[in-house]
Structure 1
Amino acid sequence: MADKPEEWSTQLSYLVLGIVSLHSAVHTTRVNRGAAAGFLLQALAAAAALVSGPQPDTNNQMATWVATVIGLPLLAFDFHWVNGDCSTANLLLGAGMVLAIAGDFLDTETQAVAGQAVALVAAVTILIVSVFTVNTYGVGGGMALGAASLMSRLEEETLLFFQKEDACRWALALGSWAYRWALHTQHLELD
């Protein structure tokens, strides 16, 4: 019975991440379909984890990892591509695709480090582009995604009042919401 609040917190964090990501995917489709696909991957991974319950299996962990190494570079791709930095956009997306293909050959710890590195690189590059284009939503999203990536490397099991993984999902949901508005703002300025 003591695990009940933790289970509810975990399920709620997956639910919020899934809803925010799905909402972002739907509204980003008009702006950029690649970024919408990145949001959709996050929503599908959250939905798969939500359906599996409190004990995620190996397939759900792999789905979450693939959503990270492909979905986040898809989001970063649009930020770079629209601003004329096509080489960085292609490099991020290509590296994510190679990691996704090589995922079966990596052990669990290597997958975790690679996923966190991809998330951090995507966050930092979006943050840099957002600072230079004065996109406040992009800055906020980059900071939230960077915080989620850094929190996942901490040794503590609880952060504030949440389990570490739940806090990371809350930060990722906040970052996804901010990225949705950053992409919208970026494309409005270009029109």
Structure 2
Amino acid sequence: MAPKPWGEWSTALSHLALGVVSLHAAVSTAQASRGAAAGFLLQALAAATMLAPGLGTDEDCLAGAWVATVIGLPLLAFDFHWVNGDRSSANLLLGGGMVLAVAGDHLSAEGRSVAGQAVVLVVAVTILIVAVFTTNTYGMWGGAMLGAAGLLSRVEEDRLLLLPKEDVCRGALAVGSWAYHRALHTQRLQWE
């Protein structure tokens, strides 16, 4: 049996890291915020489908990643806005994600890519804004890391920091998810 090349290992590790962080965050936030827990769970499930051989086709895995992006990430932002009284922004983000999820079949591959990156950046910026105004340091880090993942995905290079670009983006998303989990906890403590 030949050893796997480093690229395959880094891909598996990035999916595993994102899946474990997201699953832990989903379990930890389930009592305080069902919406954010569902968003984290969607991310964990999307990462798990990419890891498990034979679990689904490549199209199923891409569909799972699409749903985790356009519904899961707005669910994370929803709680930040809702707790701070900005219910219109919370509903707008979540509604927009739902519309994109339904419209995904009618978009080209490039259209889905652009829409997914737009969702990532909008969610990152809105959470970053709320975090700045509420002085939530974890939220600021989460917004910065999610924004970095969104911007790095637009880079033309195939490799970043000697790793495949997608693995670096998933690593940034995992760090951002951990920071969001901590930010949600901090935010709940401030409002109690």
* TM-score between the two structures when normalised by the length of structure 2: 0.96
Which residue does the alignment assign to 1:161?
A: 162
Aligned match of 2:189: 188
The equivalent of 2:103 in structure 1 is: 102
Cα distance in 2 between the residues matched to 1:131 and 1:142: 10
- The count of residues paired between Structure 1 and Structure 2 equals 190
Aligned Cα RMSD in Å? 1.5
Task: State how 1:74-153 maps to structure 2 within 5 Å.
Answer: 74-153=75-154
Deviations 1:62-96 (A, max 9, x none): 11011100000000000000001000000000000
In structure 2, do the counterparts of structure 1 residues 2 and 154 end up closer, same or farther at CA, with 3 Å as the change threshold? farther
Deviations 1:103-129 (A, max 9, x none): 111111100100010010000000000
Distance in 1, Cα, partners of 2:3 & 2:116: 31
The answer as to 2:41 corresponding to 1:48 is no
SS of residue matched to 1:154: coil
Structure 2 residue identity aligned to 1:134: T
Partner of 1:14: 15
For 2:46 and 2:53, the matched residues in 1 are separated by: 11
Q: 2: distance between equivalents of 1:183 and 1:123?
A: 14
What amino acid does structure 2 have at the position aligned with 1:155? E
| CA distance in 2: counterparts of 1:134 and 1:30, whole angstroms | 24
* Shift of residue 7, structure 1, vs aligned partner: 0.4
Tell me, yes or no, if structure 1 residue 4 matches structure 2 residue 5: yes
State the distance in 2 between where 1:34 and 1:58 align.
Answer: 26
Q: TM-score, normalised by structure 1?
A: 0.96
What runs of 5+ residues in structure 2 fail to find an aligned partner? none
Provide runs of 4+ in structure 1 moved above 2 Å: none
